[in-house]
Structure 1
Amino acid sequence: MGEEKQGSVPVLPWMRDPVDVALCQECPLDEVPCLHPRLKLALQKMGISKLFPVQAAVWLETVGPGNFDRDLCINSPTGSGKTLAYALPIVQMLSNRVVKCLRALVVVPTRDLALQVKEVFDAIASPLGLCVGLAVGQSSISDEISKLVTVPEYDAGMSFDPDDISLGLQLGFQSKVDILVATPGRLMDHINTTRGFTLEHLYYLVVDETDRLLRESYQSWLPTVLGLTQFNDDHILTVANSFLPNAFGPLRTRRTCGIERGFKDKLYPRLAKMVLSATVTQDPGKLVQLDLHHPLFLKAGLMRYQLPENLESYKLICETQLKPLYLVALLKTLEGEKCIVFTKSVVSTHRLCTLMNCFNNLQINIKGYSSLQTQRIRSKTLKEFRKGEFQVLVSSDAMTRGMDVAGVRNVINYDMPKYIKTYVHRAGRTARAGQTGRCFTLICKDEVRRFKKLLQKAENSSCSDHTLPSSLIEALDATYQSALEKFREIISEERKKSKSISSQSSQEKGKRQKSE
């Protein structure tokens, strides 16, 4: 889906006067106000000695003087430390909890990003005795339930009204986690089917990669979550009830629960929200769905789109049919540095990766990463890439959102992105956490003008020309032609195999229909 055109929709009043987090100074851990000693020690074990500007700004608005009186919308460049920015205050604020209940929910768009976010939470939450859960569909739902909810042994022989969540908790259902990181689809599975799973005690909601999560409904997860957590809002309850299955029963306000010490016959604290992205949408129609409470807009810089401060951008002009050759030559000059190569689609990822591996004596290990692969294969590939077992990862835009791989020195746009939003997320896989990095984009001559116009929409967007030695191109040409021949043979065999499988499937379908 394309990005919204600037000026095509009105900007909400609270977005017109953002707080510039770029003006906030890095803060040494010794100077962070109210930081829990064990949380400080956990950060030091992670090799962290100070908070980045966005982390310090969020801390001051949540734990510090701000006291989380307002919901936060955070627009900060990729690699600026947004995950830790929301994880730190949540762990700090839950550190004194007495009863284990699900208090914080973090919703992210992809499984791989969820796994990464959970790792960050685990590192800082475990030392404070907090438990972090994961709901992403990586394992069976029964396995996830066993890790999220304690089910009473006598449940099977007792009648249980699914409408009465309070009764369920009294019968022995109890959350095993304080914090849950989830993808929206699997979150809805648990809301709709998992007995004892409740959001009644939720204090904090984080929506990471907000623009992507608001672009797709994911079984209407957002109105459902808000309906299950907010109180005294008949409109939200009505909307949420319209999406829930009849078996779930009508939603009630949190005020009626009264099962937790200190809240009997009293209103629960409001649900505090943090929404984040490097490319936050400005569409009021989308943002209003979040029902933000007196939101405060934290933003880095003046322009809407921000590239990492220490990023160097280059364009490499070549003929379209020679792009694979120039890519190989570029990788040769990078001398084994860790790189991510982005293509325009999952099919292009497969084809380019196949072609690259047809080069003889390339001495560069290359693997592909896309949604065509199973989750198990993607996770295995990502793990190997992080360990440095191969140098080049060819990927579709499945890798653009939030993924952090240490040591990625270069990002290469094999296919020029259509939108600045995509460029920002791709380029953000390098130059993270204050490190330096480079982004190369391969383009043909008739794309130069459009590429220049694209970059003008972002801050820190200067882009230099990059040239490769003509001797290197000439030396690789014969190998390139040989690789093309091998590639054509492989693709031809794949097509034959695909046709054969399709034909067998059609025949089997025809036999079933005839039998029926």
Structure 2
Amino acid sequence: MEEQKLRSVPVLPWMRSPVDFSLFEECPLDLLPFLDSRLKVPLHNMGISSLFPVQVAVWQETIGPGDFERDLCINSPTGSGKTLAYALPIVQKLSTRAVKCLRALVVLPTRDLAIQVKEVFAAIAPAVGLSVGLAVGQSSIADEISELIKRPKLEAGICYDPEDFSLELQSSVDILVATPGRLMDHINSTKGFTLEHLCYLVVDETDRLLREAYQSWLPTVLRLTRSSDESFYPCASNYLPPAFNSLKTIRRFGVERGFKGKPSPRLMKMVLSATLTQDPSKLAQLDLHHPLFLTTGKRRYQLPEKLESYKLVCESKLKPMYLVALLQNIGEEKSIVFTSSVESTHRLCTLLNFFGDLQIKIKEYSGLQRQSVRSKTLKAFREGEIQVLVSSDAMTRGMDVEGVRNVINYDIPAYIKTYVHRAGRTARAGQSGRCFTLLREDEVRRLKKMLQKADNKCCPAYSIPSSSIESLHVIYTSALEKLKETVELETSRKRKIGFKSSRERKGNKTNHSKE
């Protein structure tokens, strides 16, 4: 039945014969061909001594014999090292040309993920004289502009025509990591901001970025780069190494005759996701050039190799107590609890913190919070000051927090795609991890069918002793009462703020009418 469903989905011809990067072996940095020696120190400082299979495969297709002849579509499990897979070759490529202009753009769907990716680039780029910028709306647009655009130096005593300044404006960064909305802000209103020299475009978390329009950022970027000066694009023959014998070559041949080894005046693209879409109409938006598909195995949905999945069956009204008992069993291990919405996240976190002295520090992480609050919470979680994050799906995509041992689905995800991204917060980079899902009896079959899509047929029940649940009844009743009072207080406060804002708006209208 599953095979019939898979056959009914149209698959693009180039996706039918992918490069299986699971056939590659890890490669120590000292044996990686053509790696710029200046990059070894920052990589070692990051704790990286060898590249993972997906990183080796991408290196071969960009720095090795592939030499970016084709755009790359990468479907790789969470925690497999996708960020460094594209960051390292892009930094190495750009380091060969001493030109200060914006030549690489990385687009991501959320601020937190963009900040994380920027940190990876910033760790290695300065070693080869490159600078990295961030455009995510974390600070004011004026502050971002001052970081991204270099202003001309003005000599004292000389009168200047303000219109001439725009001719002197130039990029202060070689690489920009951005979210779509803020990227469009700069395209539309920032003087001196241009994509005319862009060589590389990375679309990370592609399926999400293609699903939402984000002010038509993609067609805008493609339109602006099509009219680029071709002289800025690297020629394949200039960079193609004489040999690439140190790596095992597992490539798909058959590039169109007349294309190989010739200059490539085009925007070179890499698109990546743990759940890459196969929808031809969505992929067509990317305008890919002879795309090469890199994936692992035959399944579209891949869970981390060392992930253990468990189900925890309970009644809905008892679910908070089962969660508390589970957290007590887990102890101080770093864990993320996922809910179905930002509202549920807030209420669940508030409730858990009314459960007396759990000896566990629990914090909320959701889209309801300001960016500064989220960043502070994430930092504390990374440093071990917080043991448990209760999160909405704002945390599911790509976020990398070292040492997360457990993921808990308080609410069962609606789709296997969401399960894959949630579970991928643990068992990263070859480490082991566990994913628990709290279920009603009537949801067990649904979880089983969902996991079959990821070829996971083993999801044993996790047992919580009934005595553990019974011991929590009294404190749970008290916690519910406190939660009710808190929610009523918050609702009342919001109404007052809303009423005040309404009166201010009316007052402003009255003042305007008098003027």
TM-score normalised by structure 1 residue count: 0.89
Q: Is the 8 A contact 2:203 2:272 kept in 1?
A: yes
Alignment partner of 1:440 is 2:443: no
Distance 1:419 1:32, change over 3 A: same
The CA deviation at 1:508 is 4.4
The CA deviation at 1:461 is 5.2
The aligned amino acid for 1:296 is L
Q: Which residue of 2 aligns with 1:164?
A: none
Q: Which residue of 1 aligns with 2:339?
A: 343
Alignment partner of 1:62 is 2:62: yes
Q: 2:450 aligns with which of 447, 451, 454?
A: 454
Q: Which residue of 1 aligns with 2:161?
A: 158
Query: Is 294-303 or 460-469 further displaced after alignment?
Result: 460-469
Distance in 1, matches of 2:228 and 2:19, equals 34
Q: Is the 8 A contact 1:307 1:461 kept in 2?
A: no
Distance in 2, matches of 1:28 and 1:261, equals 28
Q: 1:395 aligns with which of 386, 391, 413?
A: 391
Distance 1:36 1:228, change over 3 A: same
Could you say what secondary structure the match of 2:493 adopts? helix
Q: Which residue of 1 aligns with 2:420?
A: 424
Distance in 2, matches of 1:77 and 1:203, equals 27
Distance in 2, matches of 1:228 and 1:319, equals 55
CA deviations on 1:242-285 (whole Å, 9 max, x unpaired) are: xxxxxxxxxx4535xx69999xxx98732111000000111111
Query: Is 196-205 or 434-443 further displaced after alignment?
Result: 196-205
Q: Which residue of 1 aligns with 2:239?
A: none
Distance in 1, matches of 2:225 and 2:335, equals 43
Could you say what secondary structure the match of 1:463 adopts? coil
Q: Which residue of 1 aligns with 2:281?
A: 285
The CA deviation at 1:459 is 3.0
Q: Which residue of 2 aligns with 1:237?
A: none
Distance 1:267 1:96, change over 3 A: closer
Distance in 2, matches of 1:178 and 1:198, equals 12
Alignment partner of 1:254 is 2:229: yes
Percent of matched pairs sharing the same residue = 69
Q: Is the 8 A contact 1:254 1:268 kept in 2?
A: no
Q: Which residue of 2 aligns with 1:364?
A: 360
Could you say what secondary structure the match of 2:402 adopts? coil
Q: Is the 8 A contact 2:69 2:264 kept in 1?
A: no
Structure 1 gaps of 5+ residues are 162-166, 231-251
Query: Is 406-415 or 150-159 further displaced after alignment?
Result: 150-159
Q: 2:191 aligns with which of 167, 192, 195?
A: 195
Distance 1:153 1:333, change over 3 A: same
Distance in 1, matches of 2:267 and 2:498, equals 51
Could you say what secondary structure the match of 1:459 adopts? coil
The aligned amino acid for 2:116 is Q
The aligned amino acid for 1:128 is V
Distance in 2, matches of 1:35 and 1:268, equals 22
Q: Is the 8 A contact 2:24 2:53 kept in 1?
A: yes
The aligned amino acid for 1:254 is D
Q: Which residue of 2 aligns with 1:128?
A: 128
The aligned amino acid for 1:37 is S
Distance in 2, matches of 1:219 and 1:7, equals 34
Q: Which residue of 2 aligns with 1:36?
A: 36
TM-score normalised by structure 2 residue count: 0.89
Distance in 1, matches of 2:206 and 2:476, equals 42
Distance in 2, matches of 1:86 and 1:369, equals 28
Q: 2:494 aligns with which of 491, 498, 501?
A: 498
Structure 2 gaps of 5+ residues are 236-261
Query: Considering only aligned residues, what root-mean-square deviation do their CA atoms show, in Å?
Result: 2.2
Q: Which residue of 2 aligns with 1:247?
A: none
Distance in 1, matches of 2:19 and 2:39, equals 27
Could you say what secondary structure the match of 1:440 adopts? strand
Query: Is 29-38 or 293-302 further displaced after alignment?
Result: 29-38
Q: Which residue of 2 aligns with 1:104?
A: 104
The CA deviation at 1:153 is 4.3
Q: Is the 8 A contact 2:233 2:264 kept in 1?
A: no
Write out aligned runs for 1:36-435 (5 A).
36-153=36-153, 157-158=160-161, 160=163, 168=166, 171-230=167-226, 252-255=227-230, 269-435=265-431
Distance 1:194 1:461, change over 3 A: farther
Distance in 2, matches of 1:355 and 1:260, equals 56
Distance 1:19 1:357, change over 3 A: same
The aligned amino acid for 2:161 is M
The CA deviation at 1:400 is 0.3
The CA deviation at 1:98 is 1.3
